[in-house]
Amino acid sequence: MLEGEIDIIELAKKGDQDAFATLYDHYHTPIYRFVVLKVSLRHEAEDLAHEVFLSAWRNLPRFKSRGFPFSSWLYKIARNRVIDYYRTAKPKVDLEDIPQGLTQDDVDHEADLNLDFDLKRVKAAMQTLSPDQQDVLILRYVEDYSPKEISKILKKKEGTIRIIQHRAIKALKEKIS
C-alpha cells in the first residue's frame, strides 16, 4: 500500500491530477503485469491496462473503500476488462479442446516479452488455468502478496486463497510435465 494512500485517493477523487498520477505510478506496473500475463500480447495488454486506469480515473469520485485496499478495486476493473476481452475479441474455446501439454509452437505464439523458454512455457500453461487460479498465482508469486493480502484483494477467505494456490501449483506442474 502506498504511504498516505487514503489522503492521496481523497485528493484524486476531487480531480487532483497529481494525486492520480501518484496512484498510477504505484499501481500501473502490477496491473499491466496482471493483464499481460492473462492476454499475452503486449499491445493488447497496453490497451487493456490503459482502459483500466481510464475507468479508474472516471469512476474515482464514486470509489468507496469499504475496508478493502485500493488495489482490490483496480484488480477488479482489470479482471472485468480481461473477461470482456476474451468475450469479444477471441473465439470461444471449449475447455475439452485445450491441449494438456504445451509445445514449443504454443510458446512461440507468446508476446515479445523477451522471456526465456521456461518462463514462456510456464506463462502459456498459466493461461490454461481457471481465472481464479491465475489471479492467485500472479498475486502470490509475481506480486509477492501474502495470502491474507490476496484474500482482501480478491474478497475471498484466506483459507480459500490457500486452497486455490495449492490447486493452481498442482495443475501448473501437471500441465508443464
122 contacts other proteins (rule: CB under 8 A)? yes
**Which lies closer to other proteins via its Cβ, residue 153 or residue 172?**
172
**Which lies closer to other proteins via its Cβ, residue 126 or residue 154?**
126
From CA 40, how far away is CA 123, in angstroms rounded? Answer: 8
DSSP code string of 133-169 = HHHHHIIIIIS---HHHHHHHHTS-HHHHHHHHHHHH
Q: Which of 9, 19, 39, 49 binds other proteins (CB under 8 A)?
A: 49
From CA 72, how far away is CA 20, in angstroms rounded? Answer: 16
State which of positions 68-107 bind other proteins (CB under 8 A): none
50 contacts other proteins (rule: CB under 8 A)? yes
**Which lies closer to other proteins via its Cβ, residue 43 or residue 155?**
43
Within 10 angstroms of residue 27's Cβ, the number of other Cβ atoms is 21
Q: Which of 3, 58, 66, 105 binds other proteins (CB under 8 A)?
A: 58
| DSSP three-state, residue 78 | helix
Q: How far is CA 9 from the centre of its chain?
A: 21
Residues that bind other proteins (CB under 8 A): 15, 17, 20-21, 24, 28-29, 32-33, 36-37, 46, 49-50, 53-54, 57-62, 113, 115-116, 118-119, 122-123, 137-138, 141-144, 169, 172-173, 176-177
